[in-house]
Amino acid sequence: MSADFGEEGGRHDWWSHEEVVKWIDQLQQQWDWLQRQKHNPPRNAWQAIANTLSNAKQNLQQALNSVNQGQMQNAENNIASARAVLEGFVRPNPWLLSGSAQRKFVEELRDGGMPLEAALIVCHWLKQDLGGPQINFIVSALLQWELYERGIKDRMKTENAALKRLVGEMQSTLTQYQDAEHTQTSRFDELHGQIAEQSAKQQGAFDTAQQTRDTAWEELLNHTQAELNTLKETYDKHMALAAPVEYWDTKRKKHRLWSGISFGAIVAGMGGAAYFLHSELQSVGQAVLASKAVETATTAQVAGTTTMQALTDSATTWHLGSFILLATLSFWFIRLLVRIFLSNLHLENDAAERVTMAKTYLALIRNDDLPKGDNISTVLAALFRPTGDGIVKDEGVPPSTLEWFTKLGR
């Protein structure tokens, strides 16, 4: 709020409701000595001053209430009314202000032991009725004022006007400086608030980022520690299973080698047996043909026929018997090689299963996919379980030739 009190009073600015109310209260306190006089004219003058200032304060209070209620238009109207009351009262009476020469004259007169005369001069300025006090006080007051006023007019009329203008200019300049100071203060407060807000944002962003980094670092540290623990556990389990795995892998390779050798022996034996039996079969056939030729050649000789035929049949029978015996031995040998081959094949598969199980167990430990428990005992028990001989039982192969002959004989 601002008010222009004319050339002598200058321009006054107030930046808050409390500031203007404080200024009005101070002005009232500076003139309340009028009400302490025992005559009615000074009291009436005081009532005029107090009522006018109270009206201005009332308008300002209504403006504050309107602002609190959000009625900005009513607030502006009340502020304008308060400004009009103050300007309408102070402009024609600039002696009310502290920088006035007239007020200084009255205060010096009051402080000099003539308070009633000073109060009557104020009544005269306010055009109040001076009736009531004794005439000598009234005459003294008017005489003091007239002498003061005439002395100034006679000697310092020009200086007085210049001083009045100077006071007004100084008040206006002071108001401008106050405006500039208030603007700078407001700007400083605004900048300080912006800096504080920006600082709070930066601090919040930094704290959030730091917390995120701490969380990420903690998670990474925990993950790395878990990886190291898993690697250590895997290494320990690997060292515990390294020797068994190597043992069974070596055994698997050995059985695989022997299964290959036995398979080759089977093929070679079958080929050799086939060739040998084929040769023997041809020899038996030739023996039969020879016996038939002998039988035909000795048909005419009746006496020696029986003896020669017996000898021929006996040689053929022994030849056929040896062929059957050799065939049986060949089939038995081939069957033995087949059982050796199947035994090594089964043992090789068993060793491969054990190696695969151990390696799978290590891989599951590395990936932390195994349930918690005493798994190593289970794995070691499976690795070192009793091993069979791998021999295929008789019921697992077709019956031999001798068995066929035995069954046919029954």
**What are the residue ranges spanned by the domains of the chain?**
2-153, 227-389
The answer, yes or no, to whether residue 334 has pLDDT greater than 80, is: yes
Can you give the pLDDT at residue 239?
A: 66
Q: Do residues 267 and 273 touch, judged by C-beta distance below 8 A?
A: no
Q: How many CA atoms lie within 13 A of 363 on its CB side?
A: 6
Instruction: Collapse the DSSP code of 299 into the 3-class scheme (helix H, G, I; strand E, B; otherwise coil) and give the result.
Output: coil
CA atoms of 206 and 201, how far apart (whole Å): 8
Can you give the pLDDT at residue 155?
A: 46
Nearest to 261 by CA among 321, 343, 184: 343
* Burial tier of 268 (Cβ tally within 10 Å: 0-12, 13-18, 19+): exposed
The answer, yes or no, to whether residue 327 has pLDDT greater than 70, is: yes
In this prediction, residues 281-304 reach a mean pLDDT of 61
Can you give the pLDDT at residue 351?
A: 80
Local confidence band at 302 (pLDDT 50, 70, 90 cut-offs) = very low
Strands 2-4 and 11-13: antiparallel
Local confidence band at 116 (pLDDT 50, 70, 90 cut-offs) = confident
In this prediction, residues 14-31 reach a mean pLDDT of 78
Percent of the chain clearing pLDDT 70 (strictly above):
66
The answer, yes or no, to whether residue 251 has pLDDT greater than 60, is: yes
